[in-house]
Amino acid sequence: MSKKVILSLAIIVLVLPIIVIAATDGTYNITVDNIGFAGGEASVDGTYNLSDTVGTPLVGLGTSTNYKTQDGFWYMVNNTIALVLDSNTKDLGTITPGSPNTATTTATVTTDAWGGYELLISENHSLTHTVDGTTTIADYAGTIATPTAWSGTGLGFTVTNGSGVAAKWGTSPNNNYAGIPTTDTVFHDKGGYTSGGDDTVVEYKADVPSTQKSGTYTNTVTYTAISKL
């Protein structure tokens, strides 16, 4: 191998930093690790705060058909996100079989993420009879992937208002509904930066068959917001 080739490889190794994101072994967690060719000390001058990084001599964006490199200083953007619900309890009232009841939740997300955010929803289990612990009100048959116009029974939800509500949810009064899954699932994708809180209104609808055992049913629904970058 010629000296020129060896030198080229060495330069590549030195110049290209290696990024390891979210490395964890259960004990330690490295959120972002930049293994560059040198290191630096935290520097503060009252205006800027540069933590433990060093620049690569080549600055800029390199692209080809299949690859893209970003060269230069590395810094981490710590975007923030907060989720607030209008209430942590929801009483759907008393359902007479065949006459569905509705209720709403307003989820307010505040984030500085330039890409927006996603809202996820899940339930711990179907609505379950509080006395016998086994009888359930089935989840509505529609899915988040393919919500359907209300028909039948169960507990379902739709998105009635918000930024960038997907067309699949329909519009009032012709909304489409989905059952609430038991695993966190994205149901709303809001793109782009928004200054201040962004509201998403979720409507729940519940109906039961005439044979549904009377009594009180409960479950817990969980919302999570994830920023998009």
Partner 1 sequence: MKLNKIIAGTSALALSLSMTSVALAADAGPEVIDFTVNVQDTISMTCHEHGQLDADKSIDFGTVTAGTPVFGSSDCDVTTNDENGYYLKMVNDNGAGETMTDPNGVTSDITDTLAAFDWGNGDGAGGVPTLVAWGANTGVGFTIASAPTKESQFGSSTTCVDTINHNFGGVPATAEPIMRHQNYSATETTTTTCYILDVTATQESGVYTGSVTYTVTSDASSVTDIDAINS
- The minimum distance between CB 150 and partner 1, in angstroms, equals 16
CB closer to partner 1, 90 vs 171? 90
- The minimum distance between CB 167 and partner 1, in angstroms, equals 25
Which residue, 91, 82, 116, is CA-closest to 204? Answer: 91
CB closer to partner 1, 35 vs 171? 35
- The minimum distance between CB 182 and partner 1, in angstroms, equals 14
Cis ω before 100 (30° cut-off from 0): no
CB closer to partner 1, 144 vs 202? 202
End-to-end CA distance of the chain: 43
CB closer to partner 1, 167 vs 179? 179
How far apart are alpha carbons 225 and 8 in whole angstroms?
45
Tokens 């309890």 belong to residue: 89
How far apart are alpha carbons 193 and 109 in whole angstroms?
11
- The minimum distance between CB 123 and partner 1, in angstroms, equals 8
How far apart are alpha carbons 167 and 187 in whole angstroms?
12
